[in-house]
Structure formats: structure tokens, C-alpha cells
Amino acid sequence: MNSGECCSGGGGSGGGVGAAERSRRGSPREDGFAPSALGTREHWDAVYERELQTFREYGDTGEIWFGEESMNRLIRWMQKRKIPLDASVLDIGTGNGVFLVELAKFGFSNITGIDYSPSAIQLSGSIIEKEGLSNIKLKVEDVLNLSTKLSGFHVCIDKGTFDAISLNPDNAIEKRKQYVKSLSGALNAKGFFLITSCNWTKEELLDEFSEGFELFEELPTPTFSFGGRSGNSVTALVFQKT
């Protein structure tokens, strides 16, 4: 992709949770997404089992979805908006947990990562341990069936997870609605939700999160131009719970 920042292959999974999936080919549903294995837990379990093995053998932490810049962009925003370092932060679908590591290194002290893949949580635990960080909470948890204990967060972060859920072959529309409900339950009043997506445009995300959330800020992402058209391959938005 021209921007140098895009959804990537997910540890050799052979395709991004990305624009490529938003295909008019195959049998797209009414939301325009072709259902994909990328929306299933089996897929992510296989990805992180493989990445866990690679980490054990070579110390390679694996894929950083949307690249380093996507993490810096979020941390810069938190810094600019003076989010206190002890604010509670939830990373939804943390994957290898590398973003949690970055947050902790920056000084955030109350951070939690969840993922429905036990291998992802095992991998992030191993990476966090290797980094010598001890105050990060990790939990195997399906965001669509979130424990009520996971509530009262000041900031929730999603980098590629809503994208993955949108590709679920089994009633993704309902799952997206459930995601918005779960998010609402996890955030405290006026809490912030930072989403990075390569499947959804700004306008579509505004629509998806119109109930209970309002746009606080759009974060700049690289633009590309091709054939006289220009656009962004990644959308990064900050919502605030109303």
C-alpha cells in the first residue's frame, strides 16, 4: 500500500483484516464484507500458537498490526490530552500485547489487555515477562461476552479487533452491535475509545458507534493517491462515551 501503513498479513496468515477483505467478489453480505476466517477464533488461535512458537524459538514478537506508527499515534494523543498515567486503560484484542508494553514503557501503570485467544494471552504474557514488566493485567476474554468485572475504564483501545469481528462469518451485524454494548459497559462516563481500522471509513465508524458515543477527534493517518483519487488506508478515531 502506498501509505506505508496498512493492515498486514497477521503472522503469515496470508491476508490482512483489511481493505482487501472488503470485496465485492465472493459473496459479500449486505454490509459489503465477504465473510472470512479472519473473523474466527480458530484463525487467531492458529496465528498466535504459531507466533508463540516463533517467540520461544527466536524471540521474535511477531506482527504489529498497522505498524509502529499506529502505537505512537495513540500514545501521542494520550500525552496531548494529558490522560493521567494512572488512568485505567483496556486494550481490546491485544494480540501479542506489544502495545501494552509500549504503554507501560511510557509510564502508564493501570493497563489491562484482553483477547479471546488463549495463545495470544500466553504470548503477550511471555513478551511482557521478557521485558521485565510486571504491572500489566492480562485476561482471556471475549469482548462480545465481557465480564462485568471489566468496567470503569477511562480509555479503551481497539487496533484491528473490530475489523476482525466485522469479518465473522456468523452474524457479524449482530456481533458489531454487541461490541458497541460491551464497549459501553467497559468504559466509564466520558471515557475515551480509540479505534484504528482499515476496514471502515470515518463516516461508517461514526454510524457504527452513533449510539452512546460521539466523535471527539480524528487522528491523522497517512494518505495515498492513486489514479487521481486520494484517501486514507487507515482510519483512526477517538470517541467519547456520552
User: Total number of residues binding ligand SAM (CB under 6 A)?
Assistant: 21
Q: Does 143 bind ligand SAM (CB under 6 A)?
A: yes
Q: Does 117 bind ligand SAM (CB under 6 A)?
A: yes
Neighbours of 17 (CB within 10 A): 28
Q: Does 176 bind ligand SAM (CB under 6 A)?
A: no
Tell me the β-bridge partners of 219.
236
User: Among 210, 218, 143, which Cα is nearest to 183's?
Assistant: 143
Of 24-32, 141-149, 186-194, 215-223, the window that binds ligand SAM (rule: CB under 6 A) is: 141-149
Please say whether the beta carbons of 209 and 240 come within 8 A. no
CB of 143 to ligand SAM, least distance (A): 4
Q: Does 94 bind ligand SAM (CB under 6 A)?
A: yes
Residues 26-65 that bind ligand SAM (CB under 6 A): 44, 64-65
User: Among 44, 25, 22, 41, which Cα is nearest to 33's?
Assistant: 22
Pairing of strands 187-197, 229-232: unpaired
Q: Does 239 bind ligand SAM (CB under 6 A)?
A: no
CB of 191 to ligand SAM, least distance (A): 18
Which is nearer to ligand SAM, 87 or 183 (by Cβ)? 183
Neighbours of 86 (CB within 10 A): 11
* Separation of alpha carbons 40 and 171, rounded Å: 12
Using CB under 6 A as the criterion, which residues of the chain lie in contact with ligand SAM when the complex forms? 17, 44, 64-65, 93-95, 99, 114-117, 120, 142-144, 159-161, 164-165
